[in-house]
């Protein structure tokens, strides 16, 4: 494992130490976990954006999309029944 030094403002350092103590963790473990969580959230968001851009590109290329009211109805039904089929895509270009 590599070593990294952090220069923290004193108030943040104290807050982190206090939060770590409240959780029964060392300050080091608390900071490692915070960095792990921030890294995972950044990666999840990047994947979401990548998938959204790919979906947009596919929609622009195909000229087909979904009506918002049908998507909402599908999502409500899907909460009750996981086997609910997706609504059909429809052309949106004229």
Q: Where are the domains of the chain?
A: 10-83
Q: Which uninterrupted H or E stretch holds 69?
A: helix 68-80
Question: What is the model's pTM?
Answer: 0.73
CB 94 within 8 A of CB 63: no
Give the pLDDT score at 24.
98
Q: What is the pLDDT of residues 30-71, one digit of tens each?
A: 999 999 999 999 999 999 999 999 999 999 999 999 999 999
Q: What is the pLDDT of residue 92?
A: 85
Mean pLDDT for the chain? 95
pLDDT of residue 93: 78
**H/E run at residue 27:** helix 27-62
Measured between alpha carbons, how far is 88 from 69 in angstroms, rounded to an integer? 12
């Amino acid at each position: 494992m590599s070593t990294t030094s952090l220069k923290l403002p004193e108030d943040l350092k104290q807050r982190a130490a206090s939060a770590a103590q409240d959780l029964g963790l060392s300050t080091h473990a608390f900071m490692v976990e915070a960095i792990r969580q921030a890294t995972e959230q950044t990666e999840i968001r990047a994947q979401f954006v990548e998938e959204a851009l790919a979906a947009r590109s596919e929609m622009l290329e195909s000229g087909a999309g979904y009506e918002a009211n049908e998507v909402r109805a599908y999502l409500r039904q899907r909460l009750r029944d996981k086997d609910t089929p997706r609504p059909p895509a429809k052309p949106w270009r004229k």
